[in-house]
Amino acid sequence: MSVTWLSVLLLSSVLEEPVSAQLDSSDKQESAQPHLILIVADDLGWNDISWHNSDVISPNLGQLAREGIILENSYVQPICSPTRSALMASRYPFTIGRQNNVIKPFCPTGLTLNTTILPQELKKLGYDTHIAGKWHLGYCKWEYTPTYRGFDTFHGFYHGAQDYYTHIRTDSMEADHVTTEGTGYDYRNNTEVDFASAGDYSTFVIADTVENIIMSRDPATPLFMYVPFQSVHNPMEVPEEYSNMYSNVTNHKRRMFLGMVTAMDDAVGQIVTALKSSGHYNNSVIVFTTDNGGPNNTANNWPLRGHKGSVWEGGTRGPAFIHSPLLSNPGTVSHRMVHVTDWYPTFVRLAGGSPPSDIDGVNQWEALNNNSLPPARDYFVYDIDRTDALVAAIRSGDYKLLVGDIGHDSYDPQSPGAGHPPAAVNTGGSCKQTAAGGDLPTMQLYNITGDPSEREDLSASQPSVVKDLWLRLQQEFSRYVTKDTPPDDAAADPKNFGGVWSPGWC
């Protein structure tokens, strides 16, 4: 972190102004703060996008990526709510109790209220702030919901998944040997229930909302538009015209999944068209990322090991890019390390502000935009979970240390119908190393730069690296906050709110 913040200090004189204010002053529009567009795909795997897999039809995303900076070392959390927490708060989830667990419908909790999240910070800097899509950061009381947390408007849903057309979510809980099953509608226009969207495919509802917001506003006022798609999370649902594009794919779930990717790509194209026709595009920065690796059976993370729910590369390293007419090096591929916590300070710096000092993210804009500068980061913690046995992972430079029983270690086939590669190393094997202080937990060490597929465990041959990374990981334990998972509460049952999942029960 010291090298990173030294870089920031050296650049502080430049960063007093928004990036767009540093451009040619003859263009009046570019003297305003840049519009910030943050697009998050759900459950999109490494090999589920056209710049990694030519069989995937995603021309709009592909063009944005090719004309921007493709981020080949972009890291997220293993599952949904933790990534969204890290994105909004710029904090490692294990420091705020959000590690390795999604917020379910009956769970009376949410992203901690004791932090200033990204839209709140951008509001201070004069931005209009909007969200269209999936929230999944808590809803049991209004204070957890988007319009109470810095967003001017919210059109979307609270939970992690729902039917793409009906917007109905069913979930269950058990307490005192009694099972409560709740079924309810989950789509909102700000705080009001939006029944008008029932029957409409959520991907296109989201795109229409974003288009309407963009087209109805003055581009002279800076915009933060957060677009967390439902796509391509289960259930596997998509208009038939999209799944028919993959008639050669025999696996039904995979065919539906790929159709959902292409539908999302069309939605992104609609959003970019709106940015261009409304006068926003030339002064915009668009970031695209997945929220976690792809799940097994539908997504594809080839050639990375593991999938959603694990700290293997397949669960945490995802497709991402940054696209902007403000870039000085468009059309490039970056192998510099980027973490999901970094988008908060990057956006705040782009807007001309100063990020909070107690965050884990770093500003990436200058380092990504100028390869002559040192990388913004060379270290991050994948996750730490001490709920039962310790499970954790850390990256420093080329090396990654995994601690505990990681699981979920399979490899996906390279393409539909292809065979699996040779069996992966057994993660439950005995990899104990002895160092000063006694026996260490079960560990594995990989050189991610040279071995991104995590095939060769180096823990036995590189004990000094294991020791160094283990000591560094232990230093993070002092920041650990116990996982925030209170018991489910039947008060959330939609029958208590007229058949709607609603705040007001915790």
Q: Helix/strand/coil (H, E, C) string of 347-409?
A: HHHHCCCCCCCCCCCCCCHHHHHCCCCCCCCCEEEEEEECCCCCEEEEEECCEEEEECCCCCC
Evaluate if residue 7 carries a pLDDT over 80: no
What is the structure's pLDDT at 138? 99
Residue 503 lies in a domain: no
Q: What is the pLDDT of residues 79-109, one digit of tens each?
A: 999 999 999 999 999 999 999 999 999 999 9
What is the structure's pLDDT at 32? 78
As a whole-number percent, the residues of the chain with pLDDT over 90 amount to 83
Evaluate if residue 458 carries a pLDDT over 90: yes
Q: Which of 287-291, 318-322, 409-413 has the lowest mean pLDDT?
A: 409-413
Q: What is the pLDDT of residues 48-82, one digit of tens each?
A: 999 999 999 999 999 999 999 999 999 999 999 99
Residue 234 lies in a domain: yes
CB 176 within 8 A of CB 185: no
Give the largest Cα separation in the chain, rounded.
70
> Does 506 qualify as catalytic in the annotation?
no
| Residues 395, 369 within the same domain | no
Of 235, 257, 232, the residue nearest 245 (C-alpha): 257
**Residue of 35, 52, 80, 280 marked active site:** 80
Please give the torsion angle defined by the CA atoms of residues 298, 299, 305 and 306, in that order, rounded to the nearest 10 degrees.
Answer: -60
Q: Which domain CATH number covers 423?
A: 3.30.1120.10
3-state SS assignment for residue 443: strand
Of 116, 148, 115, 143, the residue nearest 131 (C-alpha): 148
Q: Angle CA(308)–CA(310)–CA(315) in degrees, nearest 5?
A: 45
- Our count of domains for the chain comes to 2
| Residues 83, 220 within the same domain | yes
Q: Which of 203-217, 310-324, 339-353, 426-440 has the lowest mean pLDDT?
A: 426-440
Average pLDDT taken over every residue of the chain: 90
Q: Which domain CATH number covers 7?
A: 3.40.720.10
Q: What is the Cα–Cα distance from 245 to 65, expressed in whole angstroms?
A: 22
State the residue range of the domain holding 219. Answer: 2-173+181-378
Alpha carbon 414 to its chain centroid, in Å, reads: 24
Evaluate if residue 158 carries a pLDDT over 90: yes
CB 500 within 8 A of CB 189: no
Q: What is the Cα–Cα distance from 243 to 255, expressed in whole angstroms?
A: 6
Evaluate if residue 423 carries a pLDDT over 70: no
What is the structure's pLDDT at 418? 39
| Residues 89, 238 within the same domain | yes
Residue 501 lies in a domain: no
| Residues 214, 285 within the same domain | yes
Average pLDDT over residues 114-137: 98
What is the structure's pLDDT at 388? 87
Q: What band does 413 get if pLDDT is binned at 50, 70 and 90? A: confident
Q: What is the pLDDT of residues 303-350, one digit of tens each?
A: 999 999 999 999 999 999 999 999 999 999 999 999 999 999 999 999
| Residues 388, 326 within the same domain | no
What is the structure's pLDDT at 29? 46
What is the structure's pLDDT at 9? 33
Q: What is the pLDDT of residues 168-178, one digit of tens each?
A: 999 988 887 78
| Residues 283, 339 within the same domain | yes
Q: What band does 20 get if pLDDT is binned at 50, 70 and 90? A: very low
> Does 52 qualify as catalytic in the annotation?
no
What are the two backbone dihedrals, phi and then psi, of residue 14, each rounded to the nearest 5 degrees?
A: -75, -35
Evaluate if residue 12 carries a pLDDT over 80: no
Residue 490 lies in a domain: no
| Residues 370, 390 within the same domain | no
Evaluate if residue 424 carries a pLDDT over 60: no
What is the structure's pLDDT at 412? 83
**Residue of 130, 136, 233, 408 marked active site:** 136
Strand order of the sheet with strand 284-290? Answer: 192-193, 188-189, 153-157, 128-134, 223-228, 35-41, 284-290, 320-323, 69-71, 332-334
Q: Which of 351, 378, 405 is where one domain is finished? A: 378
Token pair, residue 74, equals 């972009």
Average pLDDT over residues 358-380: 97
CB 117 within 8 A of CB 89: yes
Q: What band does 428 get if pLDDT is binned at 50, 70 and 90? A: very low
What is the structure's pLDDT at 414? 74
Residue 135 lies in a domain: yes
Distant-in-sequence, close-in-space partners of 485: CB < 8 Å, separation ≥ 6: 101, 107, 109
3-state percent helix, strand, coil for the chain, nearest multiple of 5: 30, 20, 50
CB 475 within 8 A of CB 164: no
| Residues 123, 148 within the same domain | yes
Q: What is the pLDDT of residues 134-147, one digit of tens each?
A: 999 999 999 999 99
| Residues 217, 320 within the same domain | yes
Residue 154 lies in a domain: yes
Q: What is the pLDDT of residues 179-199, one digit of tens each?
A: 889 999 999 999 999 999 999
Average pLDDT over residues 471-491: 96
| Residues 236, 296 within the same domain | yes
What is the structure's pLDDT at 8? 34
Q: Angle CA(361)–CA(364)–CA(365) in degrees, nearest 5?
A: 140
Evaluate if residue 31 carries a pLDDT over 80: no
Token pair, residue 423, equals 């069996």
β-strand pairing of 128-134 with 223-228: parallel
As a whole-number percent, the residues of the chain with pLDDT over 70 amount to 89
What is the structure's pLDDT at 266? 99
What is the structure's pLDDT at 179? 85
Token pair, residue 242, equals 């999209």
Q: What is the Cα–Cα distance from 497 to 480, expressed in whole angstroms?
A: 36
What is the structure's pLDDT at 440? 56
| Residues 441, 366 within the same domain | no
CB 100 within 8 A of CB 79: yes
| Residues 441, 300 within the same domain | no
Q: What is the Cα–Cα distance from 96 to 119, expressed in whole angstroms?
A: 18
Residue 505 lies in a domain: no
What is the structure's pLDDT at 98? 97
Q: Which of 355, 378, 401 is where one domain is finished? A: 378
Q: What band does 407 get if pLDDT is binned at 50, 70 and 90? A: confident
Of 458, 446, 435, the residue nearest 396 (C-alpha): 446
Evaluate if residue 425 carries a pLDDT over 50: no
What is the structure's pLDDT at 175? 81
pTM of the model: 0.91
Evaluate if residue 211 carries a pLDDT over 60: yes
Residue 39 lies in a domain: yes
